[in-house]
Amino acid sequence: MGWFTKRHETAPKPESKEDIWIQCPACKAHIYKEEWEKSFKVCSQCSYHERMTWRERVDLLIDPKTFTELSAKVSFNDPLKFSDAKGSYAEKAAETRTKTGLNESIVTGYGKMGGIKVVVGVMDFRFLGGSLASGTGEKILQAALYALKQRWPFIIVSASGGARMHEGMVSLMQMPKTCAALAQLREAGLPYVSVMTDPTTGGVSASYAMVGDIHIAEPKALIGFAGRRVIEETIKQKLPDDFQTAEYLLEHGFVDMIVPRKDLKNTLTQLLKYYGRR
């Protein structure tokens, strides 16, 4: 369960000196940067959904000026004092923190979505591939408990390659930890919606991302448990191109709906309006 999931180059590189063009990582079309941003990083040519930062996602979903962050001080831990061939995990994580301004692979908070009070967790792939580690799990737990206390719906937008192996078993244990928090919401009858974006794999797909009351996926998002290479080695054959895409999961019964980014906020709001007796 590594967090390494490549699809295309993650950050679109501006091609011209004027920085007014973006090249779509999928179809290579050149798109006006302004247009690219207005369409929430969705390619107007091939509708490729580029990964979003947590801030972009919050801006997409949460009514302006209503977002308050939770657990802002919870950061990554280094319980194993882990080092690999390339150096220490602590240093690498600290560097990432400096570079991204993120404390962990998720940002949680509350706010209004189309006027409805919600608690959200938004993963950010830039922080070590959005990997699930102790800080991630703790933030999700605290957010879920906050939703429980307020009796507000909870939404997690996943973007993760899976468990962060640098935290070893502590990372694996975030799977039952987060699910235990979600179980409290369920027992209290509170709604939890899981939004799966590219990628939602490994230990994240096998924990909080897959136990939503409603599962929404972004178009073509990679969603699955085991890695494609591992599966191909196991079954000794090539997998179809659309294997583990959002569309594939819809067909196999694990996703309620695939929603293009421009409709996401509206769809979520419409759905939550069906939740009665708040």
CA 61 to CA 52: how far, in whole Å?
A: 12
The answer to whether 130 and 3 are in contact (CB under 8 A) is: yes
Q: Which does 138 bind (CB under 5 to 8 A by kind): another protein, Zn ion, none?
A: another protein
CA 151 to CA 185: how far, in whole Å?
A: 9
Binding-site string for another protein from residue 31 to residue 70, where x marks contact by CB under 8 A and - marks none: ----------------------------------------
* Closest distance to Zn ion from the beta carbon of 15 (Å): 14
* Closest distance to another protein from the beta carbon of 71 (Å): 11
- Nearest one of 261, 219, 256, 222 to 241, comparing CA atoms: 222
Residues 44-83 that bind Zn ion (CB under 5 A): 45-46, 48
Of the candidate residues 1, 22, 24, 102, the single one contacting Zn ion (CB under 5 A): 24
Rank residues 43 and 210 by Cβ distance to another protein and give the closer one. 210
CA 78 to CA 162: how far, in whole Å?
A: 17
CA 208 to CA 185: how far, in whole Å?
A: 12
Of the candidate residues 224, 245, 246, 264, the single one contacting another protein (CB under 8 A): 224
Per rule CB under 5 A, is residue 15 in the interface with Zn ion? no
Count of CB atoms within 10 A of residue 68's CB? Answer: 9
Helices 261-273 and 54-61 sit at what angle, rounded to 10 degrees?
A: 50
Evaluate the CA torsion angle 127, 50, 251, 121 in order and state its sign.
positive
Q: Considering only 22-30, 56-64, 111-119, 181-189, which stretch makes contact with another protein by CB under 8 A?
A: 181-189
Of the candidate residues 175, 193, 195, 222, the single one contacting another protein (CB under 8 A): 175
Rank residues 24 and 214 by Cβ distance to Zn ion and give the closer one. 24
Residues 70-129 that bind another protein (CB under 8 A): 77, 79-80, 82-86
Q: Which does 156 bind (CB under 5 to 8 A by kind): another protein, Zn ion, none?
A: none
Per rule CB under 8 A, is residue 236 in the interface with another protein? no
Q: Considering only 15-23, 32-40, 45-53, 186-194, which stretch makes contact with another protein by CB under 8 A?
A: 186-194
- Nearest one of 130, 120, 203 to 160, comparing CA atoms: 130
Helix (H, G, I), strand (E, B) or coil at 244: coil
What are φ and ψ of residue 32, in 5° steps? -55, 135
Which residues in this chain contact Zn ion in the complex, by CB under 5 A? Answer: 24, 26-27, 29, 43, 45-46, 48
